[in-house]
């Protein structure tokens, strides 16, 4: 029994592009293992969309993006200036409504931006949503997760490491006493370089050259990205806290001498997000020196992870090692399969 689900991809940057390649490359595997065909019927970049009720050719979309041009310029299927709402409307009018929407554009933490607009469009049409964009969750958690349409967001908190599912599973029968995350790859890399003698600025520049850090590294280096992930994780565990209530200190002004002195003592400085249960949960993000045997200290600098301390289930730790954006795309694909 083969099920076909029509997918629209909103956002064709590094994550969206990787999702497209994964959908293409694993099509046979999805059929064999899950009896599932995920057909890309729409795709959006910053300049518009492309739509085809009978299915777009993923390879053609990838090729178009790698030429640096917009999918909106593709002959026949391109829709310059169209938004997600218009794409979904065209598909519905053609009798081939989209089943699933992937939102993977750049996030806008002020008002949710195009990502939130896309989620709201999907809600109106009953289209399931997979988020790689965290902003809609932070800006409008209650609306996005109210169950009007199914929503998953594995890729937002820990890439391929299923942090939310893991923490939820542990906490079905135990109470958290503390949750800790180190989930920003750029900060991990930068702090590793600082340990080895670099300045923060030079390490950030190196991360940018390596394609790990963004052109504007503020969200990573100033701790916002970690705070956002902490907010999403806490909300997923039933404890929504507004982003502005997270006391956040980044690593921009971290003292390299301190980082090296801690390393010399067998400890590791990480950018740590901490959630302490209470009413409400208290969330903080700040550089912290952890004992060498702490699960988040003994990770390599190419790893990110989380720790859940509990009352009756002991301490649970998990980490993921990844070198590029492919595991994030794998998390999006997991969510697509689980929603399909």
Residues binding a copy of itself (CB under 8 A): 22, 26, 29, 34, 159-162, 165-166, 169-170, 172-175, 293, 295, 298, 300, 305, 310, 312-323, 326-327, 329-331, 333-334, 336-338
Handedness of CA 282, 284, 246, 155 (dihedral sign): negative
Q: Is 122 helix (H, G, I), strand (E, B) or coil?
A: helix
Compute the least distance from the CB of residue 320 to a copy of itself, in Å: 5
Our CB check for a copy of itself shows the closer of 146 and 324 to be: 324
Our CB check for a copy of itself shows the closer of 223 and 281 to be: 281
Length of the chain: 340
Rounded-to-integer distance, Cα 85 and Cα 119, Å: 9
Q: Are 21 and 324 in contact (CB under 8 A)?
A: no
Instruction: Please report the beta strands in the chain, taking only residues with DSSP state E, as ranges in sequence order.
Output: 3-10, 36-45, 48-51, 78-80, 100-103, 128-131, 151-152, 176-182, 247-248, 268-276, 282-290, 303-310, 315-321
Compute the least distance from the CB of residue 39 to a copy of itself, in Å: 17
Q: Are 136 and 102 in contact (CB under 8 A)?
A: no
Our CB check for a copy of itself shows the closer of 252 and 315 to be: 315
Compute the least distance from the CB of residue 298 to a copy of itself, in Å: 5
Neighbours of 6 (CB within 10 A): 21
Our CB check for a copy of itself shows the closer of 22 and 56 to be: 22
Compute the least distance from the CB of residue 130 to a copy of itself, in Å: 11
Compute the least distance from the CB of residue 44 to a copy of itself, in Å: 22
* Backbone region of residue 280 per phi and psi (left: phi > 0; alpha: psi in -120 to 50; beta: other values): beta
Our CB check for a copy of itself shows the closer of 92 and 317 to be: 317
Rounded-to-integer distance, Cα 145 and Cα 143, Å: 6
Helix (H) or strand (E) segment spanning residue 202: helix 200-209
Our CB check for a copy of itself shows the closer of 13 and 295 to be: 295
Compute the least distance from the CB of residue 90 to a copy of itself, in Å: 28
CA dihedral 140, 144, 148, 151 (to 10 degrees): -170
Q: Please provide the DSSP assignment of 138-179 as one string.
A: HH-HHHHTSSSS-EE-GGGTTTTS-HHHHHHHHTTSS-EEEE
Compute the least distance from the CB of residue 146 to a copy of itself, in Å: 19
Beta bridge partners of 283: 275
Our CB check for a copy of itself shows the closer of 52 and 167 to be: 167
Tokens of 110: 């002020």
Our CB check for a copy of itself shows the closer of 280 and 300 to be: 300
Compute the least distance from the CB of residue 162 to a copy of itself, in Å: 4
């Amino acid at each position: 029994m083969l099920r076909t689900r029509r997918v629209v991809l909103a956002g064709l940057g590094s994550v969206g592009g990787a999702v497209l390649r994964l959908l293409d490359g694993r099509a046979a595997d999805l059929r064999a293992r899950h009896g599932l065909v995920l057909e890309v019927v729409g795709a959006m970049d910053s300049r518009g969309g492309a739509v085809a009720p009978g299915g777009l050719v993923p390879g053609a979309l990838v090729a178009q993006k790698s030429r640096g041009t917009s999918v909106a310029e593709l002959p026949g299927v391109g829709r310059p200036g169209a938004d997600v709402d218009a794409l979904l409307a065209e598909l519905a009018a053609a009798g081939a409504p989209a089943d699933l929407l992937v939102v993977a554009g750049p996030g806008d933490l002020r008002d949710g931006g195009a990502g939130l607009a896309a989620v709201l469009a999907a809600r109106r049409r009953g289209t399931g949503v997979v988020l790689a964009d965290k902003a809609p969750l932070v800006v409008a958690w209650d609306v996005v997760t109210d169950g009007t349409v199914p929503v998953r967001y594995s890729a937002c908190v820990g890439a391929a490491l299923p942090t939310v599912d893991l923490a939820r599973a542990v906490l079905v029968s135990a109470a958290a006493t503390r949750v800790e995350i180190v989930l920003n790859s750029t900060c991990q890399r930068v702090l590793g370089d600082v340990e080895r003698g670099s300045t923060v600025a030079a390490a950030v520049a190196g991360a940018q050259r390596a394609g790990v850090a963004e052109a504007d590294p503020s969200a990573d280096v100033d701790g916002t990205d970690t705070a956002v992930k902490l907010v999403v994780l806490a909300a997923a565990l039933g404890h929504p806290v507004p982003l502005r209530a997270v006391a956040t200190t980044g690593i921009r002004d971290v003292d390299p001498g301190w980082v090296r002195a801690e390393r010399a003592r067998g400890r590791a400085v990480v950018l740590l997000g901490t959630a302490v249960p209470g009413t409400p949960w208290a969330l903080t993000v700040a550089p912290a020196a952890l004992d060498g045997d702490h699960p988040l200290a003994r990770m390599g600098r190419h790893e990110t992870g989380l720790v859940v301390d509990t009352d009756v289930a002991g301490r649970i730790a998990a980490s993921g090692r990844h070198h590029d954006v492919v595991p994030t795309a794998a998390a999006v694909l997991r969510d697509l399969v689980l929603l399909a």
